[in-house]
Each structure stands twice: as C-alpha cells, then as structure tokens.
Amino acid sequence: MTKNNYRKITNKEFDQILRNDEGDYTDFISSEARGARIQEKIVEFANSEGGSLYVGIKDRKEKVRLDGFDTVEDATKAIDAAYRDIKPRIDNLEHEFLMFNKRIVAKFTVPSSTRIHQTAAGETLARRGAKRIALKGDDIKILKYKKGVDRYEDQVKNIDLDLFRDSKYFTNFLKRIQFSGSKEEYLKKNNYIFNNKPRIAAMLCFLDTPQSIIKSGVKIIRYEHQKYSRKSAYRRERVGNEDFTIEGPIEILIRESVKKIYEIIPKYIKYPKEAILESLANAVLHRDYYIQNEIQVKIYDNRIEIISPGGFAGGITAKNILTYERFARNPIIFRTLFRISSLEKRKQDRLNQDQGEGIKTIWNSNCIKLQVLIL
C-alpha cells in the first residue's frame, strides 16, 4: 500500500485553523495565488517573529474559505515558490500537506530567522499584525540590530578617551580584576576600542554616567490599584513621589535597580529575589541600545512588569524562549557582566547566570506574576 504524503484533518481541526486570526503569526492565501505572493508572505514571517501560512484557504472576507489543490502534485508549485529564490534561503522552513473535504492545503511553518531575507524581486518585508511592511534604509538597519545581524554595541562614538581615564567605576573595576596595565591597554586588549575610538559597549560598561551619551537607564514607577465603584472595579493610579531613574554603568544599573525595587515593593507581596535579579539582568544585557529609551520597571499591587526596549533577537520568540538555543544580542556587554559576576565567591551574589540559564532561573522560581515584556 502506498503511504499518503498528506495528513487528513477533522472538521474540528479545520474549524480551529479558521479561528486563527490573520495577524502576527497566521495568514491564509488562495491556492490561485502567484508564487511571488506566497514568497512575500513567507519573507514577512521570517523577518518578523515567524508564523504559519496556509495556502489553499482564502482570507476571512470570503464566504467559502476552502479552495485547496486537487492533488499534492498541484500543490508543489506553492512549495517551489517558497523554497526558490528567497535570498538567503530560510533555514528550518517546514511544510506539510493537509487534506480536508478532498482538497489539499499546504501549510508552511516559518521560523523567526536570524538573518534578513528578500524576495526574488529584491524586497525586504516584515509583518506588523496582518499588514505587510516594506523595509528600506534605516528600517533595514534597525531590523539588523534587532536580529543581531549587526550589533549596535560594536559601533564607535567620537568621544575622548579621557572620559574613561576619569571614570571612578572603571578604576575600581580594574583593581577588582587585578589588571596592572593602563585603562587604554585594557580597552584595546579586550576589543572595546576601534580606530582609537571607544565602542558603545565600552561606554555602557565602564563610564560613570553613560546615560549622558546614550539613554540607557532604568526607570522605576510605583502604581497602585484603587477601587472606584461598588463592583470593585479598579483603575491604575500612579503613586506620587515614587518615580525613580537609576543611572550608571551596567553593574550599577542592575544592583541599584534591584535594591530600589525591594525598597518600594508592597510588603505583602513576596517575589523570589533571583527572579527579579535575573529579569533585570536580562533586560540590561539583551535590550536593543539603538532604541534611545530607558528600561521601565512598573510595580503594581499585584505584579511587576519589566519592559525592555527592542523586541526578541536572534530567532527567539515568546513561544520558544524556554527551549531556543542561547543567543546574546550584546556579547561584549554579556562577557563583561559575566567577568564581574565571576568575582563573586557565592553564586547567589552573581549578577547573571551562565548564558541561556537566566530565563530558566526565572521560570523555575515559580514567579507567575513577574512579567518581562520585550517591546
């Protein structure tokens, strides 16, 4: 007996597919669509956070949704369009054939790629909700930073190295690691300088106030819920005089932010310290510093939100964050903080875990109401 190269699906499964919204992670397209249109949608997903594309199901405005292919052979033209001429090729792009009511639907599962992709027509596309976004110029540059193709921390700034010579924090850091050379020697030896100009990573790690050059602090805001109706509905209201901005190099940002959070957190709420520490460390380490904004920590009566600018990087998504292979958006900054952490004799005093272990630490702490939002 010949094995079918498709999977039959039930009415229930087909109805579930139709209930998916056309948005960030799902889209539908008719079997009559040209290969170029299929390519565009796959590139959109790959350059964004990935998703599922169903070829052979019309969009929601159509009364009859199913218009699949007669045979798997007929569906191969969709497959050919997806795998041919997308530059560069999308790794781990998968497809399967689904049969429902004697019609074949091609389902593509598109990963969030670590590279930037173009259609055969040379278009760089991304996805925002159900809309296609054509990227050009600075938009492509931003996408490269987001995905880690290029690293903003590697960029140099035209500032005088005297700022490092005058940095009290940097002086103390070199004493702690017992480095006997000059500050400039340390920066050159460890790739913090290019063409005699400091990289952004160097400024963030070692200047006393890098925020005077790059907006990279941590803003902590205390909110409370207040009842205003008989039904005990709540409105968020900011608490006066409890709005704090923490500045300094990355080590100071993390230590002082955690300290301040514990000073103002509601006493009746208990959060595991390791979860808050790891969340702050991850926000500082993996944020996109190209986005000139602060990390925000919002403390409510029933939860804490840590908002890190820049979105996920390197193929990580909200769905795969616990299982995805490790990725560092800012490896120089990561390496520096790891060096600082290694100076602590006790593991609980370290500012970050080994690479890839931070999110697992947060998850294993059972801290359900601590949210790390990456925008």
pLDDT exceeds cutoff 60 at 331: yes
- Mean pLDDT (whole number) for 267-283: 82
- Residue spans of alpha helices (H) in the chain: 11-19, 35-47, 72-83, 138-147, 162-165, 168-176, 183-189, 200-206, 250-264, 273-286, 331-342, 358-364
pLDDT at position 374, please? Answer: 42
Longest dimension (CA), the chain: 79
pLDDT at position 1, please? Answer: 34
Domain extent at residue 234: 218-374
On whether both 342 and 243 belong to a single domain, the answer is yes
- Confirm whether 333 is domain-assigned: yes
On whether both 191 and 273 belong to a single domain, the answer is no
- Confirm whether 345 is domain-assigned: yes
pLDDT exceeds cutoff 60 at 4: yes
On whether both 299 and 204 belong to a single domain, the answer is no
On whether both 121 and 187 belong to a single domain, the answer is no
pLDDT exceeds cutoff 90 at 72: yes
- Confirm whether 74 is domain-assigned: yes
Sequence-distant (6+) residues with CB within 8 A of 114 are 147, 148, 149, 314, 315, 327
Which is it for strands 295-299 and 218-227: parallel, antiparallel or unpaired?
A: parallel
User: Is the CA virtual torsion 16, 22, 25, 27 positive or negative?
Assistant: positive
CATH code of the domain in which 15 resides: 3.30.950.30
Look at 105-119, 198-212, 286-300, 303-317 and tell me which has the smallest mean pLDDT: 303-317
Mean pLDDT of the chain: 85
pLDDT exceeds cutoff 80 at 269: no
On whether both 320 and 235 belong to a single domain, the answer is yes
**DSSP characters over 222-240:** EEEEEE-STT--EEEEEEE
pLDDT at position 313, please? Answer: 65
Q: Alpha-carbon distance 275 to 271, whole Å?
A: 7
pLDDT at position 371, please? Answer: 47
Look at 20-34, 230-244, 263-277 and tell me which has the smallest mean pLDDT: 230-244
pLDDT exceeds cutoff 90 at 345: no
Range of 107-111, 289-293, 307-311 with top mean pLDDT: 107-111
The candidate with the shortest Cα–Cα distance to 53, out of 7, 8, 98, is 98
- Confirm whether 59 is domain-assigned: yes
On whether both 225 and 178 belong to a single domain, the answer is no
- Confirm whether 144 is domain-assigned: no
- Confirm whether 140 is domain-assigned: no
- Mean pLDDT (whole number) for 346-360: 61
On whether both 278 and 225 belong to a single domain, the answer is yes
Is the bond preceding 88 in cis, omega lying within 30 degrees of 0? yes
On whether both 22 and 131 belong to a single domain, the answer is yes
On whether both 230 and 369 belong to a single domain, the answer is yes
Number of domains in the chain: 3
pLDDT exceeds cutoff 60 at 366: no
Residue recorded with tokens 């170029």? 36
- Confirm whether 174 is domain-assigned: yes
On whether both 262 and 334 belong to a single domain, the answer is yes
On whether both 223 and 360 belong to a single domain, the answer is yes
- Confirm whether 233 is domain-assigned: yes
